[in-house]
Amino acid sequence: MTTVPALEDFCQYAQGAGFLAVDTEFVRTRTYYARLGLVQVQAAERTALIDPVVLVNEGGESAMAPLWQLFADADMTLVIHAGGEDYEILHQHMGKLPNAIFDTQIASAMLGDGDALGYAALVEQRLGVAIDKSQSRTDWMKRPLADEQLDYAAADVFYLQQLYPQLYELAGTQGKLELILQESAWQADKRAQTVPDEWQFLYFGNAWQCNAEQLSVLRELVAWRYQRARSSDLPLGFIAKDHTLLDLARQMPDSKNQLRQFKDLSPVTIKYAGDALLEVIARGRANGPLDIPLRRLTDLPNYKTMFNEIKQLAQNVANELGINVALIASRRQINDVLHWCWQIPPQAQAQLPLPDLFTSWRGAKLKQPIEQLLK
């Protein structure tokens, strides 16, 4: 679909569909922001492959507004499989999240199909259809798209529409519909959350290896990398890799000659951003030591005991809800909540998203017991 009249006609038709099966195709290999290459929608009997690359107005701006308005309709449910980055890119283009989401991967996991089944596996398991995934590595920004690519894209929503009624009915029968809807909404909300640049270092791997002065420098470096990646629309790793930032923070170079000693720091970065990088390091040193005693979680007293206690709390909730404990609290999620409670300072907590186990339906079940346990 490459014209505004065709898009408007489809959106008008889709208003009466009740729900929409939706998928997106995008490219994110050399950019910070994902490049939207295609939007697939199945509405009742019609399949639409909508081309955002071509659908622009005379001023070169996107002409996708009718679709975004359809997705934002308060009465419309979007059915998506493993939304993840789909939610992120929809939020980026719509400026908001869809009103209601049913994620079929979440549903299938909570209904006992197995954890995190891929779309092809779920379609084969529930519909007995084998999907050709040979086009999964397509460059969705390249035009024209081949018939094989378009067929592949259409299949991603054609069978999704057939899965939804099955899963919806089963969710109702098992009493899990509200839980699935809450989890789907929360997963989307999470993709729309942001962490202020000044606090990104708190989630930086191996930050615990820095002393107080080095940690102050690392805070500035991590914030600078995010700012430069966004302004240049480049992946974080193109600016500087994680281990390079950590080395810069620990060694604190003060000249371009010293910067050149870091073998994984791009010569392009040194040439065009070397002065700014040195200023960032100098600012971190000038700010003085950072009194946030980050340590490796596994080295903290009572870590293993508290981890196992929280895991048991999650198991109790899993037994109550009749779902796998892995859907309640993963190892990472337990570590995140311990990190939050033990190492995130109050002034940062006031500006940061809560850890997973303290939000949505998980928080309603686990937040108070975990806080009491850790006290």
Tokens of 369: 């017991």
Is 75 annotated in the active site?
A: no
- What whole-number distance in Å separates Cα of residue 275 and Cα of residue 254? 10
Tokens describing residue 349? 């907590």
Task: Kindly name the residue from 51, 113, 156, 336 that is annotated as catalytic.
Answer: 156
Per annotation, catalytic residue among 86, 88, 113, 183: 86
Q: Are strands 19-27 and 35-43 parallel, antiparallel or unpaired?
A: antiparallel
25 included as an active-site residue: yes
Side by side, which strands form the sheet with 35-43? Answer: 46-50, 35-43, 19-27, 77-80, 100-103
* Active site (annotated) includes residue 151: no
Strands 46-50, 35-43: pairing kind: antiparallel
Return the closest-CA partner of residue 342 out of 312, 289, 298: 298
In contact, 47 and 14? CB cutoff 8 Å: no
For the range 332-339, what are the long-range contacts, defined as Cβ-Cβ under 8 Å and sequence gap of 24 or more?
A: 333/357, 334/307, 334/310, 335/297, 335/307, 337/310, 337/370, 338/297, 338/300, 338/303, 338/306, 338/307, 338/310, 338/374, 339/297
Residue 156 appears among annotated catalytic residues? yes
Sign of the Cα pseudo-torsion (84, 87, 92, 95, in order): negative
Q: Which of 87, 119, 152, 226 is catalytic?
A: 152
Residues with catalytic function: 23, 25, 86, 152, 156
